Structure 1
């Protein structure tokens, strides 16, 4: 802009100077010719009076007179004598055969003299050329001087004139960089001040709008991040315009996909087909989807159209709500398995009891030996039902008391001693040695005493059940940093790796026939896991087939 203004300014100055020079030259020429005419008229009359007063005639003297007047006036003078001869100027460099076009001005007067009849004064254009050259030289000097002065003044004015534009350019660059509080000073020019005022007002409003948008965006981002459902939105071209971290986690998306098309997103094709189908529906839509590409997940997919606030009939995209119901489906399966397992565990002893009762009714009760045998079996089945019922009640209790508030002092070594006393007879019956290793200085913990005792009973009893005769069950306890570390070790049958992750599930048995023989309900380790969680602890199992099993429990001391 500065360059364009400078060029335009110079063209205007040069053009105006040249036009002004030519106009001045013509005007000066007109004045010069007019003055010359007046000068010729006055001098020709003066010469006429002078010649009319002369009484004698000397041609040589007339020639000198003509020459002097010619030099004085700058014209050619011709005197016409009575005898027809001419006396004219000879030393001006003007030839007698000058063309009529060379004559600028001529004047002839009649002389009342006995020697001379006429006086003629002629001015030629070549006399004016000297004037033109002189004036032209001055005109060039004046143009150059004017240009120089105009250039200096123009630079100063240009600097002042372009300063607002420089300031506006600088301010816009600051706004581009995010500095929305940039302001421009006023300049005193009405139009420019209006522009500056509007620009400052625009900057203020833009800053307020950006703050509002940032605030709204922060709230939206916080909301999307905090909700436990996936949210993903597409425009009409299936490009991602919004996604929250939960949706990325569900769909196993690691990279940034904002602005990418659905075909560029690394998700399973079935899910892409469902999204395309959902978008094609154009209205509220719900579907349950099972994903198998990365982690097996079951999700509910809800969709609805995104419409313009100005025109509700105009669809600008679609939003999807992704709800992960994998845990819910898993819990439903666990519940179904639990009901089936409980039903099965109850059905077997009840069927036995019913059969023995019917047999006794049919007359077997008369045979004392047979009756006693049946009653002993029925007693075992009743005890089995009782144990199952107690374990179910205890499991239900510990599951519902994950935040148990009972804080009793529990001395670990005393609890181990009590457990050994309770199970000592059972261990002796299988020739199993119970070993206690409690490191000196092992602290007490706080919590529900009965739960902690039941946990230890279940673990030691589990070791006795699955350890062959002549084996051992060892309980070790010590403080490790800020935790109580308990290890229950046996040298029993062990558990293979493929079963180790599931042994804490309810009614899960590694070997069902062996479990029934040892009288287990299948709930002991499930109860242990829940009790450990009540103490905010962790439990791990380390085992190998035919080499024994070690349960490792870590409970925070505080």
Structure 2
């Protein structure tokens, strides 16, 4: 590929110079021919003049030995010619005059007849040329014997005039023509040199005016990828200025668009990197283009294995889950959006919602991964809750319906049987009522912030109130209730209704599942910034396999005994949610002293310093108001 600067600076001047040289050589050749023709025409006129003179002045043939006055006249009139030869027949020389140079500017003619007498063929060539010419005239050009072989003489020969066999040959020097040609050559070559020099200068100027700006544009386009702020400097050529202007405007537009795209890209990357869901963007080769940190935690990827950089890696190098990889391959192959729940065999039994979205024109794929383990569990819990609630409602309703139908359909039923049936109906109605109240309580606890408020509460008063209410139930089974708390007051920020629910359910369950003549103890200890309350019984106990599940809704370790006791299966679930409202913990353990169960409730409390700061804040609020 040829550069424009080379064309302008080298090739164009070279082509022009060669063309000019060829033209000059052609012109010189044509000029030389034209000057020879002019000289031959002049000689031909002179020969005609000689013929005419001879016809007028010499009525009779001239003898070779006669010195006719006409001969002397020829010597004086044609002294500028190198030689004039007049022949009669073939070898009879009538006249031969040859110019000799005497000094710098003077010439004389000498008689050359004697020197030509012994040469029989000195005019054979001209004779043949004249004989073959229609005008009986011929010419020849004689060249020098030097190495250059340049033209030296011009010969013109004419014969047959005035009915006498006369022949005239005139020889003139070629030097006059050569001198003229040399002068013209010098002028032409000087002109050619000047023209080529001007062309070179003009081309260099054009190169500086056009090529340099073009080179600047090329450098600008190369460097613009690295520095978007680059701009072109304007030159003096209008067309180039227009090009530079439009390129600058285009560069400004590209820079603005790139800035906007970069800003949007940064915004998208910021959003993607900070969402909890895992996001991974793959290119058309299914290599990673973009990802966020959520991907590591959701798919249990160890970032150290990849030097904390996943860019440029194939998806199957990172994702080691066959169902997920198969889903990606299917989405790419079918170019369809796919959504699927994938279960991971981990300790948490994770459930992931995976969405694969192919990009247009098969340019890549977006994979979004969301951890729906909690939602999945919630769905399962709700499903189980509906099933359990339906079962719990169905049993007492069936009992109530059965007894009422018996009373209605039996005419001779006794009053005692009616009373006994109605007592069972009332007991199951109470069971339904308790179930509905527990469900309402649980529903409130799900939105506890909207239904319950915290305030300073003395937990010791709450516990003593519960023990007092349940003392009668304990006495019927000869169970001893022991309050092992020695503090005078245990105050914390909480909701009194929910605290009563917590301790009432725990103490009530302890009494229910403790045999006659057992013992239920309520104890306390302070653990850092928490009050830890313990409810210990000597009852049947709970196997360690069930310590976590007993807080689930409607879960019972012993279905028969639980229903016989009149429980709804929601008590411990209510306890758990009420403790969570107080930002506390509740857990179940085996009684360390023997048989039975130990329930612990840990509730945070405010220190004296925190209470002082809180009171100061309330005082400042009142003052500002």
Highest Rg: 1 or 2?
Answer: 2
Equivalent runs, 1:3-18 vs 2, <5 Å: 3-6=3-6, 9-18=9-18
Does structure 2 conserve the Cα–Cα contact (< 8 Å) formed by 1:106 and 1:123?
A: yes
Give TM-score, length-normalised by structure 2. Answer: 0.55
Alignment of 1:322-333 (within 5 A): 326=376, 327-328=378-379, 330-333=381-384
Question: How far apart, in 2, do the equivalents of 1:451 and 1:96 lie?
Answer: 140
**Which stretch of structure 1 is more off in the superposition, 206-215 or 395-404?**
206-215
- Of 327-336 and 519-528, deviating more is 327-336
**What does the per-residue CA deviation read over 1:490-526, in whole Å, with 9 as the maximum and x for residues that have no partner?**
3655544543332222221122244346553322111
Correspondence 1:519-534 to 2 at 5 A = 519-534=566-581
Give the secondary structure class of the aligned counterpart of 1:503.
helix
Please, which moves more after superposition, 154-163 or 98-107?
Answer: 98-107
**2:496 maps to what in 1?**
449
Question: 1:414 aligned to 2:461?
Answer: yes
Q: What is the aligned partner in structure 2 of residue 509 from structure 1?
A: 556
Among 303, 312, 323, the alignment partner of 1:268 is 323
Change (3 A) 1:497 1:135: farther
Q: Distance in 1 between matches of 2:32 and 2:329?
A: 100
Cα separation, 2, equivalents of 1:277 and 1:2? 47
CA distance in structure 1 between the partners assigned to 2:182 and 2:210 by the alignment: 42
Structure 1, unpaired ranges of 5+: 52-61, 87-93, 110-116, 309-314
| Structure 1 position 553 matched with structure 2 position 602 | yes
Q: Does residue 81 of the first structure (1) align with residue 133 of the second (2)?
A: no
Name 1:113's counterpart in structure 2: none
1:56 aligned partner: none
CA contact (8 A) 1:230 1:248 kept: yes
Question: Partner residue of 2:521?
Answer: 473
1:476 to partner: Cα distance: 2.7
Give 3-state SS (helix, strand or coil) of 1:453's partner.
Answer: helix
Check whether the contact 1:432–1:470 (CA below 8 A) recurs between aligned residues: no
Q: Is the 8 A contact 2:453 2:495 kept in 1?
A: yes
Question: Within 2, Cα distance between the matches of 1:278 and 1:99?
Answer: 88
- Secondary structure at 2:521's aligned position in 1? strand
CA distance 1:391–1:333, shift in 2 (3 Å) = closer
Secondary structure of 1:522's match?
coil
- Cα drift, residue 300 of structure 1: 12
Secondary structure of 1:341's aligned partner: helix
Contact 1:411 1:444 in 2 (8 A): yes
Gaps of 5+ in 2: 44-74, 83-96, 118-141, 158-167, 302-309, 607-613, 615-625
1:539 paired to 2:585 = yes
- Contact 1:77–1:121 at 8 Å: present in 2 too? no
Give the deviation of 1:335 after TM superposition. Answer: 1.9
Which secondary structure does the structure 2 equivalent of 1:455 belong to?
helix
How do 1:275-354 residues align onto structure 2 when only pairs under 5 Å count? 291-292=342-343, 326=376, 327-328=378-379, 330-344=381-395, 347=398
Instruction: Within 5 Å, give how 1:140-179 maps onto structure 2.
Output: 158-173=207-222, 176-177=225-226, 179=228
Work out the CA distance in 1 between the residues paired with 2:500 and 2:599. Answer: 18
8 Å contact from structure 1 (residues 241, 259) kept in 2? yes
Greater shift, 392-401 or 500-509, is seen at 392-401
